[in-house]
Amino acid sequence: MKGKFPLDQFSSLCTPFYYYDTGLLQKTLDAIKQQLKGQEQFRVHYAMKANVNPKLLSIIKDNGFGADCVSGGEISAAILAGFSPQEIVFAGVGKADWEIELGLDLNIFCFNVESIAELRVIDEIAQVMGKVARVCLRINPNVKANTHANIATGQAENKFGIALQDLDKVLGVLTELKSIEFIGLHFHIGSQILDMSDFRALCMRINEIMDALESRGIRIPNLNVGGGLGIDYDHPNRQSIPDFEAYFDVYDTHLRLRPYQTLHFELGRSIVGQCGTLISKVLYVKEGVNKEFAILDAGMNDLIRPALYQAAHKIENITSQEALSSYDVVGPVCESSDVFGKSVDLNRVSRGDLIAIRSAGAYGEVMASQYNCRPLANSYFSDEFI
């Protein structure tokens, strides 16, 4: 089954472009809000690294979500979109001084701190500015997630977070710092996770940590478990909205949340991934020695995931109704890795056909570049078409 697109209106648009189904985005946000009913201790922050298209940010903000940022630029984009600074959390292993100053100046909710060195720098900057910085310590829980190695973040060999065995040392350092308010712990084990047992393992590890800290009289008011919930790249029509019920139920069932605690989530891909599609046009059909190539006007600079992660996206010829044939679907960029899919079954392709590369709402437009001096693609929205 193919996705539904306004083909008659697409024909007048310059390809490639990103097409966003704002109706699906709203249904996705509604599904999350349905799971949050009665969960007064749960708070969701949208992980802006997934997509910072201003219109999408506005819709997400209007639905009452906070923002999870990993750069000063993302903080500025969040503020421009109308997110409250009190709903902004700021993570990242390499925060520059100006980014820390920006967060302090705006009085954001907290910094997710990833090292003692960073903690000391934030304290120094806050002292100079006459501010107190609220911080959560990002702990590397050494929990393995069943995902691609490049997007796994919770094991000891990853660059993220403070090693679990160093937690006591960091807590000792906190007592020396005068411009730091310690308000919580932050965890994140990776992205595109579909196996709920990974999240259960994180809950078990957090329970162990909390029991140990509470036995010493240390109360942690905020816990942040990151995000990581994946989407169905193979069947975007069959499962256009992720299984948020199963996801939130893991934490509701297995995490022993104390009455005084708030549990923060940082969902990104699962919110915007399925609402976006990269639309491209066939430039040429090339006869190879053992295969045919469908050469598109979109390239890896428009959607880098297949080249970067060997990621698979569902690809559809939304123009043709002819019988299926097999193609390597490639772009025009001067790199052998500029391949969207190999041996892809598509309705018979001809020059000028429109090709839809699905599930491109996350890490598509936001990671685009102008490599080969190619212009950035425009974006369009379903509510713009009648």
List own/partner pairs for 335-343 with CB under 8 A and 24 or more apart: 335/300, 335/307, 337/300, 337/307, 338/299, 338/300, 338/307, 339/306, 339/307, 340/296, 340/298, 340/303, 340/306, 340/313, 340/315, 341/306, 341/312, 341/313, 341/315, 343/291
Per-residue pLDDT of 322-341, as tens digits, reads: 999 999 999 999 999 999 99
The helix or strand, by DSSP H or E, that contains position 277, with its residue range, turns out to be strand 276-287
For the chain, what is the mean pLDDT? 94
Q: How many residues make up the chain in this entry?
A: 386
**CA-derived radius of gyration, the chain:** 22
Structural domains in the chain plus CATH codes: 7-17+274-384 (2.40.37.10), 23-272 (3.20.20.10)
In this prediction, residue 153 carries a pLDDT of 43
pLDDT for 315 equals: 98
Distance CA 286, CA 270 (A): 36
**pLDDT tens-digit profile of 54-75?**
999 999 999 999 999 999 999 9
pLDDT exceeds cutoff 60 at 155: no
pLDDT at 144 over 60: no
Asked if residue 262 has pLDDT above 50, the reply is yes
* CA–CA dist 108, 87 (Å, integer): 7
Q: What is the pLDDT of residues 295-318, one digit of tens each?
A: 999 999 999 999 999 999 999 999
pLDDT confidence band for 11 (50 / 70 / 90): confident
Give the integer Cα–Cα distance in Å for 210 and 215: 8
The stretch 226-252 carries a mean pLDDT of 96
* 180-212 pLDDT, tens digit each: 999 999 999 988 999 999 999 999 999 999 999
**Residues above pLDDT 70, as percent of the chain:** 95
